[in-house]
Amino acid sequence: MKRRLIATLLVLLLLSAAGKKITAQSMHEFPPLPYAFNALEPYIDQMTMNIHYERHHRGYFNNLVKAVEGTETAKMTLEEIFANMNNHTAIIRNNAGGHYNHVLFWSVMSPYGGGRPKGRLAEAITKSFGSFENFKEQFEESARTRFGSGWAWLSMDKNKNLFISSTPNQDNPLMNVAEKTGTPILGLDVWEHAYYLKYQNRRADYITNFWNLVNWEEVNRRLEQVLK
């Protein structure tokens, strides 16, 4: 019991660190995964997590650092880059998005996730979608129907309303080139490398199992941050 409590506190501490606002400083720092590679089993397997984090995410990070090295862009926050995305190269767009998106993705999952949102987040979801069940259905549809590689998002717009969207490749709703812009508080990676080793072409099963991992406390923290 004592070991489980210590492990839980450690996970929460790491999640808190990973959930902080990404700034230009963290553009040059590769944050640790907030749990062990096998911590999300059986829903996401250890090998997928290892490859996803060490090769894909680290690759985006390394390419971003290289792309901005010695330029004025290196002094900008990722949010500033996203706000004027059409002024930057495709290399920066893909890799800045890839880095930001994955840091968010790791933080909104937890070995102790699942269940239902509570408090202000639950109220906001009910207000925007009618019920938690309606929200889940719409979010799953957005993730399932994203053609090719991309992401599904729950975000808050400038009017403080929640909305669901999907973006291609490593785009996200913070980018001014997105079809609908806002601040993401929950994201699901639907690139094949995120699930193919375990689920093959069964993306729908991967999406359904995602709910067993969602760290609703972190999603609520992000909501509160946007509402400040």
Q: For residue range 149-182, what is the model confidence (pLDDT) as tens digits?
A: 999 999 999 999 999 999 999 999 999 999 999 9
Alpha helices in 33-167 (DSSP H): 46-51, 58-68, 78-83, 90-107, 119-129, 132-144
In three-state secondary structure terms, 180 is coil
**Banded pLDDT at 9 (limits 50, 70, 90):** very low
Bridge partners of residue 152, in order along the sequence: 166, 188
The token duo for 41 is 């089993």
Mean of the pLDDT values across residues 57-63?
A: 97
What pLDDT shows up at residue 26?
Answer: 62
Mean pLDDT of the chain: 90
What pLDDT shows up at residue 27?
Answer: 73
Using the Cα atoms of residue 107, residue 111, residue 116 and residue 117 in order, give the sign of their dihedral. negative
Residue 24 has pLDDT above 60, yes or no: no
**Banded pLDDT at 68 (limits 50, 70, 90):** very high
Closest C-alpha among 127, 160, 149, 125 to residue 139: 125
**Percent of the chain surpassing pLDDT 70:** 89
Residue 13 has pLDDT above 60, yes or no: no
Amino acid identity of residue 17, one-letter, is: A
Phi-psi region of 152 (alpha: psi -120 to 50; beta: other; left: phi over 0): beta
Amino acid identity of residue 51, one-letter, is: I
What pLDDT shows up at residue 28?
Answer: 74
Bigger pLDDT: 132 vs 3: 132
**In angstroms, rounded to a whole number, what is the distance separating the alpha carbons of residues 10 and 111?**
12
Amino acid identity of residue 136, one-letter, is: K
**In angstroms, rounded to a whole number, what is the distance separating the alpha carbons of residues 160 and 122?**
14
Mean of the pLDDT values across residues 84-111?
A: 97
Contact 116, 215 (CB under 8 A): no
**In angstroms, rounded to a whole number, what is the distance separating the alpha carbons of residues 165 and 154?**
7
Give residue-wise pLDDT tens across range 179-198.
Answer: 999 999 999 999 999 999 99
**In angstroms, rounded to a whole number, what is the distance separating the alpha carbons of residues 125 and 118?**
10
